[in-house]
Amino acid sequence: MSIHIFHVGDKVLLRPHFASRTAASNVYTVKAQLPPLGDQHQYRVRCDSESYERVAVEDQLSPVTDNQSASDHFAGFAPR
């Protein structure tokens, strides 16, 4: 199996998901690498503005660049 792309402490963006109740377009910190769900790696992530953690699969995450904001990343994004 392949290795995790993201590591504990990495800053990531969580792509909005059609089933989520919030836009979830904030910067998150990877808190833990979790066992795979099928063929996808999972991560526990947390945003400083939320009081809870989320679980996300790897294809829902993208790395944060130094000068990138969540709104820049999701400009023109249409949920699946």
Provide CB contacts within 8 A for 45, sequence distance 6+.
Answer: 12, 14, 28, 29, 30, 31, 53, 54, 55, 56, 61
Residue 80 has what pLDDT?
44
Selection from 54, 50, 60 nearest residue 31 by Cα? 54
Bridge partners (DSSP) of residue 27 are 13
pLDDT for 26 = 84
Q: Tens digits of per-residue pLDDT, 3-39? A: 999 999 999 999 876 665 555 568 999 999 999 999 9
